[in-house]
Amino acid sequence: MTRPVVGIIGNSHLINDQYPAHAGGTMNSEAVAHVAGCLPLLIPSDPDLVRVPELLEVCAGFVLTGGRPNVHPEEYGEHWTEAHGAADRARDAVALPLVRACVERGQPVMGLCRGFQEVNVALGGTLYAEVRDLPGRMNHRMPPDGTLDEKFALRHRVSFSRGGPFHRLMGAEEVMTNTLHGQAINRAGATVVIDGRADDGTPEALYVRDAPGFTMSVQWHPEYNAANDPVSRPLFEAFGAAVRDWAQGGAARRMTA
């Protein structure tokens, strides 16, 4: 049976600081293929190359990955400062309208790290430029040194709303996650429900209220060790099931037409 296609929203990248490329972490593709059971397709995040309506037809679902550049603050009504860091306006121009379209259509979309923040901004929310500068907050950034395993090590607890979708999916109110981000949600969008927080209050898990499809997104990086991590695996499995349901519904609609 043909696997449904999942579009992976990647990032602009320079190979050797010189050659322009479209990049996506291998672990994202592995999680989509091996845990979600779908066919990963890296999307060049540039509105000059792809159009949202085309992506919606080609792909059954989408993963919005992490990335070093941040959502540009103009997208949520603020002026850029040095604290906001590098941005990727081309990705903003693809990812933000794509989120809104997926939510409206009920097409599965899952945001990870930057993607988590994109979902919030796309639906009218705002971000803090640097969460570690806020009183009482921990440093959520990637450790500067160490192996990949050390950088993605489980570093803090996330507590879910009792009886909420993350609690039901994970079978636990508290889990341990990695943390590799500098920015964080400030004000949630009107339909964004914060369903999980770190001990310092930082939003870590969300879904979109009354959305007809899968919208569960997280601030951490569940793609790392997704096949073996007891928190990551059910998230990608649930996303994959939603993608297959959407793909089968699309096939049924085409046959009816």
Q: Which pLDDT tens digit goes with each residue over 51-107?
A: 999 999 999 999 999 988 999 999 999 998 878 888 899 999 999 999 999 999 999
Q: What span, in angstroms and rounded, lies between the C-alpha atoms of 129 and 194?
A: 19
Mean predicted lDDT score pLDDT of the chain: 93
- Do β-strands 61-64 and 192-198 pair in parallel, antiparallel, or remain unpaired? unpaired
Q: What span, in angstroms and rounded, lies between the C-alpha atoms of 234 and 225?
A: 12
Percent of the chain with pLDDT over 70: 96
Please give the pLDDT value at position 250.
67
Please give the pLDDT value at position 49.
96
Q: What span, in angstroms and rounded, lies between the C-alpha atoms of 112 and 204?
A: 10
pLDDT at 115 exceeding the cut of 70: yes
Q: Could you tell me the domains of the chain?
A: 5-256 (3.40.50.880)
Mean pLDDT score, 94-121? 98
Please give the pLDDT value at position 256.
42
Mean pLDDT score, 32-52? 97
Using pLDDT thresholds of 50, 70 and 90, give the confidence band for residue 254: very low
Please give the pLDDT value at position 255.
39
Mean pLDDT score, 116-144? 92
pLDDT at 141 exceeding the cut of 50: yes
Using pLDDT thresholds of 50, 70 and 90, give the confidence band for residue 195: very high
3-class secondary-structure state, position 61: strand
More confident call, 143 vs 64:
64
Please give the pLDDT value at position 252.
55
Q: Where do the H-state alpha helices sit in 88-225?
A: 89-105, 114-122, 148-151, 165-170
Mean pLDDT score, 190-216? 97
pLDDT at 251 exceeding the cut of 90: no
Mean pLDDT score, 229-257? 84
Question: Both tokens of residue 59?
Answer: 């792909």
Q: What span, in angstroms and rounded, lies between the C-alpha atoms of 113 and 71?
A: 11
